[in-house]
């Protein structure tokens, strides 16, 4: 059986698409999660609407390129939960592994925002 150049090219293109799709899906975040992140970013960083929407979208895209969605959920949940006052929040605030996860999320978030030109005041 002899493969023609067209058949080889077609097979390689199909393989590249399949590999690219699986890599993209590994870091795919639900649209709702991206929108919620951008909305929170806009509240935290007021400025020209169109410009900030693009910068905040850039930040969540940067985060999505760094970690999978499940890790994003875990890290952001811990980072938000340690801000809960009282005894419920104390359980997380006093646990060093939780503090480390929160620090990791804050660092990742800050790096993403910095790379997208969002001022970190």
| pLDDT tens for each residue of the chain, 121 residues long | 566 766 545 554 554 455 444 444 547 999 999 999 999 999 999 999 999 999 999 999 999 999 999 999 999 999 999 999 998 888 888 999 999 999 999 999 999 999 999 998 7
Q: Is 22 part of a structural domain of the chain? A: no
Q: Which domain holds residue 70?
A: 29-115
Q: Is residue 108 part of a domain?
A: yes
Burial class (CB in 10 A: 0-12, 13-18, 19+), 69: middle
Q: Does 78 map to a domain?
A: yes
Is 55:117 a contact under the CB 8 Å cutoff?
Answer: yes
3-class DSSP assignment, residue 27: coil
pTM: 0.75
Whether 10 maps to a domain, the answer reads no
What is the per-residue pLDDT for 3?
Answer: 62
Give the chain's domain count.
Answer: 1
Does some domain include residue 73?
Answer: yes
């Amino acid at each position: 059986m002899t493969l023609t150049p067209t058949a080889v090219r077609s097979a390689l293109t199909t393989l590249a698409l399949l590999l690219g799709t699986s890599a993209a899906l590994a870091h795919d975040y639900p649209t709702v999660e991206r929108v919620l992140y951008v909305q929170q970013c806009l509240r935290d960083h007021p400025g020209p609407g169109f410009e900030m929407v693009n910068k905040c979208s850039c930040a969540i895209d940067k985060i999505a390129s760094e970690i999978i969605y499940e890790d994003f959920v875990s890290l952001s949940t811990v980072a938000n939960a340690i801000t809960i006052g009282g005894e419920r929040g104390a359980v997380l605030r006093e646990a060093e592994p939780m503090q480390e996860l929160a620090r990791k999320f804050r660092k990742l978030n800050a790096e993403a925002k910095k790379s997208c030109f969002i001022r970190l005041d």
